[in-house]
A and B are shown apart, each in its own frame.
Chain A
Amino acid sequence: MLRPTKHSHPDRTVINVSLLLLDYLKKYRIEEYGKLRRKIKEKTVGGDVLFLPALSFLYLLGLVEYRPKTDAVEYTGPDEAV
């Protein structure tokens, strides 16, 4: 699912969904979990299946944090603007 294979579609991989997530979160910094999931589902076919693995992937890279109190995902990676 993470690495592309002969049969995988480039748009329907964890890497691609991670990229979409990163793109969105860099822009809006923080977003509600449900809303974020909906956005991804709209953007790519099978996005709902890849959403959680992609989020986990970004968390492992230290780029996002989950905020339980507000049920939101926040971008915590390097801030290019500073």
Chain B
Amino acid sequence: MNALSPSTTKSFPGAIRMAAVAFAVTIVLAGASLLPEANPLHVSAFVVSLAGKYLAYAILALSVDLVWGFAGILTLGHAAFFALGGYAMGMYLMREIGTRGVYGNPDLPDFMIFLSWKSLPWYWWGTDHFAWAMLLVLIVPGILAGVFGWLAFRSRVSGVYLSIITQALTYALMLAFFQNGLGFGGNNGLTDFKDILGADLHSPLTRAVLLVMTGTVLAGCLVLSRWLVSGRFGYLLVAVRDAESRTRFLGYRPEQAKLLIWVFSAMVAGIGGALYVTQVGIINPGEFAPANSIESVIWVAVGGRGTLSGSVLGAVLVNCGKTLFTAWLPEFWLYGLGLLFLVTTLFLPQGLMGLRYHLATKRPEEVTPEVSNPEGEEA
């Protein structure tokens, strides 16, 4: 039995509406944060960066949903792509510090001087240019996902096996990034950022702009994803998810469809990571921890897998819960998270969105998808 019927790809109104909501919320929050502090509608810098963090996580959730919800690939390592994007952005921000570091060296980041490195490693080349760094945000996760996915899908590693090796992948990356010798700051990661494109990262205006940027990117990703998973390609993905062998016997190439969505999703996750780093101000190897990836899966599960807007909703709700819990009852957050996993999988297999459909129609399986071109075929 599959968790979702293809009907849930009918997220057109949902995804677009969610994009609009995300965009509007960021505009409002950003505007409010720029009001004078005395104004009762003023929003503090803490809330702005918190909102930015949630939305960056929502981008990650969206990317997980693309592969899990639509292609049936349960990834337990997507935080790896998120973190790689974050590191690419971190490298740029690190170079922006320039001579304002503790050691005042214009060429080398502080941690390299601390480890008595003489010159930048080759892979830091060009990271002082914003455009190159942004390219890295996209291509580093993309290339890793491409190589990994090409190997995995070509040899038909699937299901639980795939989940476990994605977990091993992020675990291996975490171990690697913890090493000082890799040139990414070891344990401490990259931090102490000062500004981005010449704008002070700590000023309210920059923060407001970054928040709006995050909201815009999230909205853009939602629309793009929506476009990608609807129509022929989307139906092919769902077909692969629900009956891979059958799809293959019909003459399609499931591994190509999977690879495409997998690489796209990794790039989206990378963008999320880059936006995350600008607003949180640090990136360290802990972001690669397998637990982070699994947590991002539960955001999607809570929201409703296979519904793009649901993943955004899930990410924001669960992270709000986490913030509140860890502030009030730090002891109980793990209980709460654990219960969330249990309750969602046992009672809400389609998440909150499924619940909504259920309440709206009582018989979700009979909702027919809006099919524009059901006879989509490939050679």
The answer to whether A and B interact is: no
Which A residues are within 8 Å of any B CB, using their own CB?
none
Chain B positions within 8 Å of A, measured between CB atoms, are: none
